[in-house]
A and B are shown apart, each in its own frame.
Chain A
Amino acid sequence: MPQHKLTQLQELESESIHIMREVVAEFRNPVMLYSVGKDSSVMLHLARKAFHPGPLPFSLLHVDTGYKFKEMYEFRDWYVKEVGAKLIVHRNEDAIAKGMNPQDFGVARCCGALKTGALLEALEIGDYDAAFGGARRDEERSRAKERVYSMRDSFGQWDPKNQRPELWSLYNGRIHDGESVRVFPISNWTEMDVWQYIREENIPIVPLYYAKERLMVERGDHLIPAEEGQFLLEGEEPKMVMSRYRTLGCMPCTGAVRSSANTIEGIIEEASIATRSERETRIIDHGSNSMEDKKKEGYF
């Protein structure tokens, strides 16, 4: 008799596909948030698998701050075309025109306007009732608390003390007009699962994840890219450093790590001995509670 067993990655994949199909079947107008990073690459790949041989039954939405890396824009446009997805890009043009930046206005205000503000604006314009996000519970301790279906009120706000029970794999998609859900199909994946899946499925990712000599400045514990348009402080001297990114965000707020891993094997090797979480290279998470507070305000 054949052994019927799934590996843990196959089981996670099946769970994610089940969630995506459930949302598409039950919601009026879903959209998939696409942030160009590795988790988004995995999400898009899972979505293609979920609806094969049909086309993707929703658009991708990139909430762009204008501060992403050049390689991210190039990769986004190439990959989206490659898989035949429909991409919507939304920016908070108002704030961008006023010169919003983390240096002068602070990280919290900048993120509030260019990310949370722009996201809420885009969801409203698109009239979406469900938005897929690639957040994982292993990323951060307030994420570890979130349901797969995260209910949001008409302001997009999360109420962590009053989450709906979520039983078995029966997701309750009933909402009132004006409410929406954020859906996290890869909730149960870890950073390692994501890398291994990328290897096993040969999923393309932005080249910034691979190590090469890059122009950097050292700021405290962080390695900050000294690319064009970057804000440098007095006395900061850019130099070439063999480095790569563990997570990707906005250029001014994303740190790199010293590394020589230039293959997926190398990345997995590094991740397997990492002693610090990937979030640490994101300047925005720091400060007590910041993720929980941001989510309460509508961040995804």
Chain B
Amino acid sequence: MPSSNQASNQASNQASNQASDQEIELLRLVTVGSVDDGKSTLIGRLLYDTKGAFEDQLQAVRKDDGEGANGIDLAQLTDGLAAEREQGITIDVAYRYFSTPKRKFIMADCPGHEQYTRNMVTGASTANAAIILIDARKGVLQQTRRHTHIIGLLGLPHLIVAINKMDLIDYDEATFNRIKEELSEFCARQNIHDLICIPISALAGDMVVDRGDNMSWYQGQTVLETLEGVEVSGHIDEADFRFPVQYVCRPQTKELPDFRGFMGRIASGTVKVGDEVMQLPAGKKSKIKEIVTFDGNLDEAFAPQSVTLTLADEIDISRGDIIVHADKAPQIANEIDAIVCWMGEEPLTPRKKYHIKHATNTVKAMVSEIQYRTDINALTQDETAEALAVNEIGKVSLKLMSPLTVDRYADNRATGNFIIIDSFTNNTVGAAMIC
């Protein structure tokens, strides 16, 4: 339905002051792609055209040479660090916000440079939709492949490809189709199908919020229409209930001498008062007595609500345990295999020990084996690899010093991931997805 909601697209950043407030959902979006492909410019364009940037913020990035939107350097709207503006590149993720009457958007603008891949993974890990930018003059580059592969591994539900700088190739449909083919073929090899491809000019604004006059050959939706349309809430009802315990609440006050509640955020699924539940890893069973919140007790709660659970029986539960439905339990593992995006300056090697944080639990672990390292270009697996260097991706086996209650990442994003922490520097050095 091209151009039908042109009017709603003109919404302001602050337009959420309407009756529909109650229904406004959140979409977390990330822009990725190779260096200079126009990620920051696209975010700047979205902010500018939806009036999500204030005048004083625009003033600060107005240039004299009149390029872009009214002489505004759109990329500089998001490149918030002095070093970024000096070098004209993005170094770390910027989070920007805007709303339309339909949605609120949290946009993470990621750096394209390989050196800052760790920051790109940071921005992408919390997103539920990604826009991959490609410079129409250059086509699919190594960084495009790397980012696309990472987005695929992270399992973001929605993938949008924006073929940018169409203004520099005379808005040529054939080039657009060729690049679309090339990326689709690369994606199909890693089981990503149904790509949405949009030809755009982030700089001139074509097909971002407004359709523009230059690409009548394109019948699909604009970037904003697509973003307003994608499904966000997922399949909460079908997912198994997972409740990692963050904190045990025992006020021991005069009014509540015996209260013992388990605080946490429901990672997935739903839970009701009276449900038969089990604590893991010990496996003790009980029933949900109450679902406590500041606003009163609930009969039922669902992901991603933060609640406090009380149980019918006095069973020993502490931080790090996971409460689940007794008949839908995850695995208890002493060894795990995981796909790892490595971010440490020191390579990951067999026999090295790390801390890993999974849900609300932190345990020590040792690398027992590197199964393979992925070649980003060929998508092949090098089984002779003996280390994962910074920015490399591979499959690794880990031996855990104490057991963890885990799901496969493909089954459950929230309980299927963990981070690897260098025990010496305390730095976060790896993002891992359990297979």
Contacts and interface: CB of A to CB of B under 8 A. Distances in A.
A272 B16 contact: yes
A260 interface: no
A272 B14 CA distance: 4
Contacts of A4: 233, 236-237, 270, 302-303
A143 B94 CA distance: 9
Interface in B232-270: 233, 236-237, 246-247, 249-251, 253, 256, 259, 261, 263-265, 270
B39 interface: no
A32 B27 CA distance: 29
A141 B109 CA distance: 12
Contact of A165 (B12, B80, B91, B122): B122
Contacts of A142: 80-81
Interface string A274-288: 111101100000000
B80 A141 contact: yes
Given A21-B264, A160-B81, A187-B95, A5 B233 contact: yes
A170 B14 contact: no
A144 B25 contact: no
Contacts of B118: 165
B94 A52 contact: no
B431 A167 contact: yes
A137 B121 CA distance: 19
Interface residues of A, number: 71
A221 B384 CA distance: 67
A166 to B, nearest CB: 5
B306 A17 contact: yes
B83 A161 contact: yes
Interface string A188-232: 101111001000000000000000000000000000000000000
Interface in A1-53: 1-2, 4-15, 17-18, 21-22, 24-25, 48-53
B234 to A, nearest CB: 10
Contacts of A165: 118-119, 121-122, 343, 419, 428, 431
Contacts of A15: 304
B106 interface: yes
Contact-residue size bin, chain B (C-beta under 8 Å from the other chain): 35 or more
B82 A168 contact: no
Nearest to B261: A53
B121 A192 contact: no
Contacts of B26: 8, 11-12
B317 to A, nearest CB: 13
Contacts of A176: 426
Nearest to A17: B306
Interface string B73-114: 000011111110000000111111101000110100000000
B87 to A, nearest CB: 11
A164 interface: yes
B256 A53 contact: yes
Given A53-B256, A164-B428, A269-B17, A18 B126 contact: no
B374 interface: no
B125 interface: yes
Interface stretch (B54-62, B133-141, B275-283): B54-62
Nearest to A190: B97
A25 B246 contact: yes
Interface in A254-300: 268-269, 271-277, 279-280, 289, 292
B174 to A, nearest CB: 38
Nearest to A13: B306
B323 interface: no
Given A52-B292, A53-B259, A145-B80, A272 B12 contact: yes
A169 B233 contact: no
Contacts of A163: 92, 119
A93 interface: no
A276 B95 contact: no
B15 A272 contact: yes
Given A18-B306, A277-B56, A167 B92 contact: no
A138 B94 contact: no
Contact of A160 (B92, B253, B256): B92
A108 interface: no
Contacts of A161: 81, 83, 91-92
A281 B65 CA distance: 29
Contacts of B426: 172, 174-176
Contacts of A141: 57, 77-80, 94
Given A160-B81, A170-B419, A268-B17, A51 B249 contact: yes
Given A7-B24, A21-B246, A174-B355, A50 B81 contact: no
Interface of B: 12-17, 21-26, 54-57, 77-83, 91-97, 99, 103-104, 106, 118-119, 121-122, 125-126, 233, 236-237, 246-247, 249-251, 253, 256, 259, 261, 263-265, 270, 292-295, 300, 302-306, 308, 319, 343, 355, 357-360, 362, 413-414, 417-419, 421, 426-428, 431
The 8 closest A-B pairs by CB, nearest first: A141-B80, A272-B14, A17-B306, A277-B54, A8-B26, A49-B294, A52-B294, A54-B251
23 contacts: A1-B237, A8-B104, A9-B21, A10-B305, A12-B26, A17-B265, A24-B247, A48-B294, A49-B295, A51-B263, A55-B253, A145-B94, A165-B119, A165-B431, A167-B419, A170-B357, A175-B426, A187-B95, A196-B17, A268-B17, A273-B12, A276-B54, A277-B56
Given A160-B91, A170-B418, A172-B426, 15 more contacts: A11-B25, A12-B26, A15-B304, A21-B247, A24-B247, A52-B294, A53-B259, A54-B249, A144-B96, A160-B81, A167-B428, A192-B13, A192-B14, A192-B17, A272-B15
